[in-house]
Structure 1
Amino acid sequence: MNGESKDEGTQSTQSTQDTAEAAARRSRFGTLPEPVRLADTVEERPATRPDPARDAYDPDEWLVRYCL
C-alpha cells in the first residue's frame, strides 16, 4: 500500500507539471504568427552603383586600339 500511494503522489505531481508545461507551451506557441506578404519578402536594389565610365563605352574604340 505504501508503494501505491507514493506512485499516486508522483503521478499527480507529474500531471500537474505536465499541465503547467502545456499551458506555458500553449501561451507561447498557441497561435500562428501573422502571414508575411510576398511583397514584404523581396527587396529590390541595384547590384552595383551606376558607373558613368562604363556607360561611356565606345564600341568602335577597340578598332582604334587593336587594329591600327
Structure 2
Amino acid sequence: MNTEDTGDAAAAAARHARFGRLPERIRFEEMTEGAEAGPSGGAHAAYDPEGAWKYYSCLALDLGL
C-alpha cells in the first residue's frame, strides 16, 4: 500500500471524527407553511391616497428644492 493513500485515509478519518457527517436534507415541503389570508390583507394592502406620500422618497423634496 502506498504511504500517500494511507495519509489520505488518515486525513479522511480525522475529518470524519471532527466533523461527522452532513445533516439530513430538509424537503421543500417541510420548509414552507401555508396560511389563509385575513380580511385585512396586511398592513399596506389598501391604497390610502392621503397617506401614500409617506411611503415614497423624492430627493428633490428631501433637499427642499
TM-score with structure 2 length normalisation? 0.35
Q: Larger helix proportion, structure 1 or 2? A: 1
- Larger-Rg structure: 1
TM-score with structure 1 length normalisation? 0.34
